[in-house]
Structure 1
Amino acid sequence: MTDPVHSSESSRPPAHDAKNRFVIDREGLRFLWQYARPRRRTLALSFAVAVVLAGLSGLLAWSVKQIVQSLTQGGTAETIGLWVGVAMVAVVFNSGLEVLNRLMLTTLFARISQEIRIDLFREIQDNPIAFHTHIRTGELASLIGNDVQSAAAGVLETFSALWQHPATFLFLVGLMFYLNPWISLIALVLLPLLSACVTWISRRARDAQMSFMDNQSKLLGVMVESITNVRQVKAFGMEAQRTEQLASRGEYLIHYLRKAALLSSLVSPVTDIINGVAIGLMALLAYWQIQHGYTTTGAVAGCLMAAVGLKKPMKGLSQSVVELQRSFAAVRRITWALGKTDRRTGLPVVEGPVRQVTLENVSFSYDGRRSVLDGISLELRHGERVALIGASGAGKTTLLDLITGFYPCTSGRLLVDGKDLATLDVKSWRRQIGIVSQEPFLFDASIEENIQYGNPEATTEQVARAARRAGCDEMLARLSEGLKTRVGERGCRLSGGERKRVALARALVRPISIIVLDEATSELDPEMEESVLRVIDGLAPEMLVLNVSHRPSILRHCDRALVLEDGSVRETTPAEIQKSLEASGECIRAGGPHG
């Protein structure tokens, strides 16, 4: 069976693949196309506008040719005025269509950004806990925010690189060949040189963009981590250290930003130089041809006008290819995150109430080498109150994570009413479980909204009933707005006991079979703890209660006691443990992060 926790290599966004030296990433194009395909009508309309724009560019060059030819060959004022008018109309229509095209593509970009962002956010939430424990929250935020924008921009750059600029280029080159094929050959001879330069720049730009995005996400990770843990930062006097880490990461970011900006900015001067050399050579050849009577001044003027017009599509095409590397880099990071989700569908749904949970010879390892849990077998039944105790690192939290389906077993089976959890829909299983943790997270919303978060479809009556079952009556009577009272960020306007009761109500607002109390009363005074535990006692006949705590007081409210030692489980009675603790004068030690 595969290790449930990813290795260090697979738990990080991908670095640049040195073997992939292609300027155009086929996988990246396939990813972008799956989002662009539903809007292919918009793309088709944009392509039609691009063709018209290309034709207008050619018409402008042809008009210049006609004007110059009329001036040098004694054309009438009416003829000159006609072509001047045609040129003006071409300029006006060209400007208007460019605005229309940009508006359509920008709207397309915004829609595709939204769709990628929603899909990525959904997948990140569905990813296993192992994924989240190996990547910072800030890095995920950067992935959802910055990388999505860069990836979606690839649709615009792809359109520009494959359709818009090539269409204009082909129109103008075709006109040049019609007017003077020998002069036009100069542009085609220098085109491979431009292509080689752009390819060289693009390959290095992709490296720089990948490094920039990686450091950008890490910098955001440091920021979010410091802000969300500001109490710990202040308590240990780590302000200067965290600021230094942010500054250090920022220096890396500046380095790669400068590198990426330099590579991107090289495209414009390189294109200008090659285009300038081409026009200079064309002018010299045109002079020689005119002197020997091989061409006319009007044909040369039109040809040179078209050559000048080539500057825009050539520069745009080159820049699009380079900027496309940012999009491909972002797509690689996004597809890495999308590939972590278990995509099995059609699995049987767990229906409540669940009567029994069985562990058969279950073992678990985070790294594939050292077992945290080893050969555990036990039965947990509906209506029981089970205490789960053990020293720090014994595996209490890990066992809870297996029972709640956050991690799969490395070996052995976890059975839900006799059915292997690995073959069931784990989301439906989690809907049968209510969890109250040591630090329950409350949103900056009303008490009602926080409770309803446990069941978005719950009515006001169901929310009020859950609040009563959780013992919130006294608290709500004291608050002038009752359930409508806003709790503040992280529930800062409520006491610790009140936050626990709201969290308990949130767990009870939907029908559940198991209630998990993970150090849920550890921060409460004895009187408040006893009050909360009495509420749990009243719920016990309706469900299985799993209580993890380092406080001996919970033992009076439990029917069974499971002691975790060295990755194994030993069952005893709460009375025996209580007697042993009283004799030794000790208390149960709290569990650590993997306790």
Structure 2
Amino acid sequence: MSVLKKFMRYYKPYRGIFFLDMFCALVLSLIDLAFPQILNILTDEVFTDTTGNITRVVVYVGAGLLVMYAVRYVCEYYITSWGHAMGARMESDMRQDLFDHYQRLSFSYYDRNNTGEMMSKLISDLFDIAELAHHGPENIFISVLKIIGSFALLMMINVRMTLILLCVTTVMVVFSFRKNIKMRRTFLDNRRKIAKVNSRLQDTLSGIRVVQSFANESLEQEKFSKSNIEFLDSKIESYKVMGSFHAGNGFFQGLLYTVVLVSGGYFIAKGSLKADDLAIYALYIGIFLNPLNVLINFTEQFQKGYSGFVRFLEVIETEPEIVDKKNAVELTDVKGDITFENVSFQYKDDAEVLNSISIDIKAGKTVALVGPSGGGKTTLCSLIPRFYDVTAGAVKVDGIDVRDVTLKSLRKAIGIVQQDVYIFDGSIRDNIAYGKPGATDEEIIEAAKNADIHDFIMSLEDGYNSHVGERGTRLSGGQKQRIAIARVFLKDPKILILDEATSALDNESERHIQASLDRLSKNRTTIVIAHRLSTIRNADEILVISNNSVQEQGTHEELLKRNGLYAKYYNMQFEGLDEIIM
């Protein structure tokens, strides 16, 4: 019932369409129930008339039936068109809610879940939910009306025969209910297995260049085949359950007709039923069985939609771990002072990454973080924009705990340039403007010039409107990096985080981009995660992070004089061995 209430909330904006749809369903049901009754009246009172009025009555009845079925046409058109449109709108609302919630979920959720499975919930699951949203209430309403109406009319014709019919129908319902439970399990398993197929597909296609560069197409085919076969096995199992379900119900329907024929013949022989009444009874049996068939078929649709909605709720009801406090304030007039006060952090169900780290970074200063991979440098920087929250201690910006300010205002004050740059599918203009939606052409061009990418852009046939391809496949690594830098120039943050922004580039590209980064860092508080120590010699302070804590702290010259970890790393790089220790 809890799931049903949550599902019903999506009908609220479309109550007018919904109630009119139900009204049309009511009219349609009454018209379908009326025909056998009209035939019964004509048989008993008109067709036996010997006064010659049959022709005139039939003309009037025919005209009435014509009007009746014209009304039925209008009702069925509305149910099929506007009813489906209502389901599509509800699907759209759910999809938007799910997408919006994905945007709110914290990094930790994406650490634990696969993109392909998330896409499956956004697309295929919601399609079945939409079909349920439209057909569910309508099918139930029409079927219940027809079953009750036809049952009442059957009772009027012959009570004893109808009670026998009710006994067979009860057994049929019990059978359907038991099979329905098995179908629910199999359809939920279908959902999980197709999500794994989508996950495997997304993973392989995203990494197709790596796959082909290693000539591992056969390996990926084998992995996809495994997921595909698991889904196939699940589907076959569901079809077996559906097969026994539909075949069993088909048997019971045949049994109903058999019972009607045998019992009807018995009652005619006993004189308690007229042959004409048996013919009318058979017509109502058809009306009685049709909604039963609809309900039986609906159970399959219901289980698909229900299992999809349950998976939808699993995401919607996942609370983001990083949210604004109720009394969170806007971070304004940012200067850029950053303080780490006894900060500790660990990921869920994992070892501690940072332990009691205290750092004070003054506004406008440049601080470099160095140390072995996995030492916690990127994690430390991720605590400033609250991609993760500290386990203990506090991170402060301008003396204010980052947990006391709104996420939007905090993250607007921070610009990040990473080693793995993400370029959106679209134009160069769109990608640069991502740093400031609504930026003017002049602002975009100025940012590109500061990032030393303007001349390259103008050399392209379409200039700033040039298409970059998915993930920027039409651009080199250095070009993507400079577009990312232009994006941050346009954002103009007071705090800048450079996460190994040049480590994947060749020496020439590095020199160009380093010059852009130097311009970008001017008058900003800058934290640099460095791989090549030669790029951070001029940092105001260097922190060596190893074994979850700050091991050394000082300027380049001071740390070299100490002849500690930093000096060791620096000398190893000088000897060309940086790949061993970084």
Same fold (TM over 0.5): yes
Alignment partner of 2:26 out of 48, 51, 58: 51
What is the match of residue 186 of structure 1?
A: 164
In the aligned structure 2, how far is the partner of 1:449 from the partner of 1:279? 67
1:470 maps to 2:470: no
Amino acid of the residue matched to residue 483 of structure 1?
Y
Deviation at 1:85, TM superposition (A): 6.3
Checking the alignment, whether the CA contact within 8 Å between 1:32 and 1:152 is kept in structure 2 is no
Moved more, 236-245 or 309-318: 236-245
Moved more, 538-547 or 93-102: 93-102
1:572 maps to 2:572: no
What is the match of residue 351 of structure 2?
A: 370
Alignment partner of 1:106 out of 43, 68, 84: 84
Deviation at 1:73, TM superposition (A): 4.3
Checking the alignment, whether the CA contact within 8 Å between 1:68 and 1:301 is kept in structure 2 is no
Say which SS state the counterpart of residue 88 (structure 2) adopts: helix
1:290 maps to 2:234: no
Alignment partner of 2:503 out of 501, 515, 522: 522
Moved more, 79-88 or 193-202: 79-88
Higher relative contact order (CA 8 A, sep 6+): 1
Say which SS state the counterpart of residue 295 (structure 1) adopts: coil
Deviation at 1:71, TM superposition (A): 8.6
Distance 1:529 1:431, change over 3 A: same
Moved more, 482-491 or 198-207: 482-491
Checking the alignment, whether the CA contact within 8 Å between 1:349 and 1:428 is kept in structure 2 is yes
Moved more, 308-317 or 516-525: 516-525
Deviation at 1:449, TM superposition (A): 0.9
In the aligned structure 1, how far is the partner of 2:319 from the partner of 2:580? 29
1:459 maps to 2:434: no
Q: Percent identity?
A: 25
What is the match of residue 299 of structure 1?
A: 277
Checking the alignment, whether the CA contact within 8 Å between 1:384 and 1:540 is kept in structure 2 is no
Checking the alignment, whether the CA contact within 8 Å between 2:432 and 2:490 is kept in structure 1 is yes
Deviation at 1:452, TM superposition (A): 0.8
1:389 maps to 2:364: no
Checking the alignment, whether the CA contact within 8 Å between 2:336 and 2:495 is kept in structure 1 is no
1:30 maps to 2:5: yes
Distance 1:511 1:164, change over 3 A: farther
Deviation at 1:80, TM superposition (A): 5.6
Checking the alignment, whether the CA contact within 8 Å between 1:361 and 1:375 is kept in structure 2 is yes
What is the match of residue 416 of structure 1?
A: 397
Say which SS state the counterpart of residue 509 (structure 1) adopts: helix
Deviation at 1:314, TM superposition (A): 0.4
Deviation at 1:490, TM superposition (A): 2.5
Alpha carbon RMSD of aligned pairs, Å? Answer: 2.6
Structure 2 residues not aligned, in runs of 5+: 562-566
Moved more, 457-466 or 577-586: 577-586
Checking the alignment, whether the CA contact within 8 Å between 1:65 and 1:300 is kept in structure 2 is no
In the aligned structure 2, how far is the partner of 1:138 from the partner of 1:578? 48
In the aligned structure 1, how far is the partner of 2:424 from the partner of 2:324? 32
Amino acid of the residue matched to residue 213 of structure 2?
A
What is the match of residue 318 of structure 1?
A: 296
In the aligned structure 2, how far is the partner of 1:86 from the partner of 1:389? 89
C-alpha distance after superposition, 1:445-494 (max 9, x if no partner): 22211111122122222212222222223324433543233323322333
Say which SS state the counterpart of residue 387 (structure 1) adopts: strand
Distance 1:382 1:123, change over 3 A: same
Structure 1 residues not aligned, in runs of 5+: 1-25
Deviation at 1:560, TM superposition (A): 1.2
Deviation at 1:558, TM superposition (A): 1.7
C-alpha distance after superposition, 1:549-583 (max 9, x if no partner): 21122113421111111010132222345672554
C-alpha distance after superposition, 1:275-317 (max 9, x if no partner): 3322322233333333333233333322221111111100111
Distance 1:161 1:113, change over 3 A: same
Say which SS state the counterpart of residue 545 (structure 1) adopts: strand
Normalised TM-score (structure 1) = 0.89
Amino acid of the residue matched to residue 430 of structure 1?
R
Deviation at 1:81, TM superposition (A): 6.1
What is the match of residue 109 of structure 2?
A: 131
Deviation at 1:339, TM superposition (A): 2.2
Moved more, 469-478 or 581-590: 581-590
Deviation at 1:205, TM superposition (A): 1.0
Moved more, 124-133 or 269-278: 269-278
In the aligned structure 2, how far is the partner of 1:349 from the partner of 1:149? 40
Checking the alignment, whether the CA contact within 8 Å between 1:551 and 1:588 is kept in structure 2 is no
What is the match of residue 21 of structure 1?
A: none
Checking the alignment, whether the CA contact within 8 Å between 1:447 and 1:485 is kept in structure 2 is yes
1:205 maps to 2:161: no
Distance 1:86 1:583, change over 3 A: closer
